[in-house]
Amino acid sequence: MADAADGVNPVLLTASRSGIVESWHRGSLVLLDADGAVEVAVGVPDRPVFARSSLKPLQATAMVDAGYPGRRERLALAAASHDGEPVHRETARAILASAGLDEGALQCPPAWPGDDETRVQWVRDGGHPARICHNCSGKHAAMLATCRAAGWDTSTYRQPTHPLQVLIRDTVARYAGEPVAATAVDGCGAPAHAISLVGLARSFAALSQSTDGSAALVSAAMREHPIHIGGTHRPITHLVADVPGLLAKDGAEAVIAAALPDGRSFAAKLDDGAARGLGPLLTMALSYWRCHGQAMERWRTVAVTGGGAQVGELGWSAQLRAAVEAPVPLR
């Protein structure tokens, strides 16, 4: 076990350029074994963090409990941080239409599509920032559909005191096995909850092991429709599609969580919020679990470029490799 000294987290990832390290990404992570015990702890994983969109599978689970009727792609999108590609927009519109609503009911901010190619085409077609393109539009559409199914007010669905948000907060605490430490406003305007990385990993283990009920439905939808939880060019989509049984979700400010069907689980956060490190962090956990796949090779490192060519890479630090004794070394 590796501990942070004086509350300062260790370096998890480094970025090198032409053989010289130019950036260091500090953070915390935890790996739990199949029985839920802490197997590896790096940094301070019991300190609360805003888990951001890593909590979306739990939010979706609460929505199903409240009567959300969406299944398969529509349930995966409820737990997504998507890139606004056509398949994402079409599915979000279908969720709204099933509840007799349209895009005007969404209360997430207008945004451009997150995927570069999609954004260019959106602009060529005369598009402007739109709520349907926001990475959380699937979650918001599902929240609205849940409110319609439960008979709750749709105009105040983002408020922390709304019955849906109260249920979500209780669900997060129940699956994490700890109280929610703080609640703030997320980037999409809905409540954001803080729990520890240990609690986050514990919640993913519970979701991943579920064989019936709402949690099993959410887990199955995410595993079966990985394109809906991220996007064509996202590591989360590639890794979930490539590693059998993997349940994983990323979040803003570089938070990520994952679990395998046997209950082994993982959660991590980079202190500086560098999203570019999420692929290497997840592949570290998968390597520790001795998983294999082409997507793991693709996302073990991230290229650092100069003049249009690769001149370095972002990858695991020596400290991280030593802490987890990764069975698959850095290339």
**CATH no. of 2-324:** 3.40.710
Above 60 in pLDDT, residue 327?
A: no
* Residue range 218-249, pLDDT digits in tens: 999 999 999 999 999 999 999 999 999 999 99
DSSP annotation of 13 reads E
Above 90 in pLDDT, residue 104?
A: yes
Q: Are 96 and 104 in contact (CB under 8 A)?
A: no
Using a 10 angstrom Cβ sphere, with 0-12 exposed, 13-18 middle and 19 or more buried, the burial of residue 32 is buried
**What pLDDT is recorded for position 296?**
96
Mean pLDDT value across residues 256-262: 98
Nearest to 32 by CA among 176, 171, 170, 168: 176
**What pLDDT is recorded for position 177?**
98
Residue 113: half-sphere exposure toward Cβ, Cα within 13 Å: 23
Structure tokens at 317: 């630090």
Above 50 in pLDDT, residue 328?
A: no
Taking only Cα atoms into account, the Rg of the chain, rounded to an integer number of angstroms, comes to: 19
Mean pLDDT value across residues 97-105: 98
Rounded-to-integer distance, Cα 118 and Cα 15, Å: 28
If DSSP codes are grouped into helix, strand and coil, which group holds residue 194?
Answer: strand
DSSP annotation of 22 reads E
In b/e form, how buried is each residue of 161-176, taking b as 16+ CB within 10 angstroms?
ebbbbebbbebbbebb
Domain spans in the chain, listed from the N-terminal domain onward = 2-324
Mean pLDDT value across residues 91-116: 98
Element (H, E) at 209: helix 197-209
**What pLDDT is recorded for position 331?**
28
**What pLDDT is recorded for position 6?**
61
DSSP E strands, 146-237: 182-185, 191-196
* Residue range 44-58, pLDDT digits in tens: 999 999 999 999 999
**What pLDDT is recorded for position 244?**
96
Rounded-to-integer distance, Cα 67 and Cα 60, Å: 11
Above 60 in pLDDT, residue 330?
A: no
142 contact partners, CB below 8 Å, separation of at least 6? 60, 63, 68, 70, 74, 75, 77, 78, 95
Residue 268: half-sphere exposure toward Cβ, Cα within 13 Å: 34
Q: Are 68 and 142 in contact (CB under 8 A)?
A: yes
One-letter amino acid for residue 244 of the chain = P
Q: What is the mean pLDDT of the chain?
A: 95
**What does residue 109 show for φ and ψ, rounded to 5 degrees?**
-70, 155
**What pLDDT is recorded for position 325?**
66
* Residue range 145-192, pLDDT digits in tens: 999 999 999 999 999 999 999 999 999 999 999 999 999 999 999 999
* Residue range 149-160, pLDDT digits in tens: 999 999 999 999
